[in-house]
Amino acid sequence: MSDSIESHEDFLAGIPEDRRPKHIAIIMDGNGRWAVEKNQPRINGHQKGVETVRSITEECSQLGIEQLTLYCLSSENWKRPELELEFLLQLLNQYLIQERDTLDRNNIRLKIIGRRDKLPDSVQAEMDRTLEITAGNTGSILCLAINYGGRGEIVDAIRKIGAKVKTGEIDLENIDEETVSNHLYTAGMSDPDLMIRTAGEMRISNYLLWQLSYSEFWVTDKYWPDFGVEDFRQAILDYTDRKRRFGGLLTESGC
């Protein structure tokens, strides 16, 4: 770590524990544009973006963030040029293999959400291997959203609930928000406290539509390959200054 960056201990010392985000979600945008602006192939931007994934994942672990959820491959990404899509899948496969030691060394447990059936068998095999290797880790959770779409997730949840209603396992009259949450890909996970998006885009792009209902948003114009630990820490600091109401009102004291 650069001498200009506070140690993890000093950084955390300035933030009350109850003000720290437990779960951070990120839309990693701008890899292709980063490369194009440098007159490089778009795939170079994706390769550079993997380095950012590594540094931010390790930072989360060191800061004690309970979960980091990254939007890696959306269900809409299949519309991209075939060569770029093939490269993204190869890069994903490579990441799952090469980062196992890093995840294990940092006591990070991997989770994956999304529709796996469309992914190549080779990618699914590496996913399962990395999930198995990190299953016993007790530190931060790294959740990768792969072939993921928020609307598709809700549709899949409705299908699961509907099937249970049909068999009598669930009573139609007893379906509530908790029922839906328990049938999403993210069942058992907390909702994100903070959602970060790079490249200046002001939309959520079909990402965690149910889970982001009360998340705080933080957007930067920086492309994902240029997003660093300093930026990540600034997002956390800005989050600590937010007054989260969850639909209610603050007291006169602002608490």
Active site residues: 29, 77
Cβ atoms of 118 and 43 within 8 Å: the answer is no
The encoded tokens of residue 242 equal 């937010």
Six-digit token pair at 247? 């639909």
Residue labelled with tokens 């930067």: 220
Contacts of 185 (CB under 8 A, 6+ apart): 113, 114, 148, 153, 156
Which residues does 147 contact at the CB level (< 8 Å), separation at least 6? 73, 74, 75, 78, 114, 115, 116, 118, 119
* Distance separating alpha carbons of residues 205 and 70, to the nearest angstrom: 13
DSSP string, 113-176: ES-GGGS-HHHHHHHHHHHHHHTT--S-EEEEEEEE-HHHHHHHHHHHHHHHHHHTSS-GGG--
Please answer whether residues 9 and 200 qualify as being in contact, where contact means their C-beta atoms are separated by less than 8 angstroms: no
For residues 209 and 127, give the distance between their C-alpha atoms in angstroms, rounded to a whole number: 24
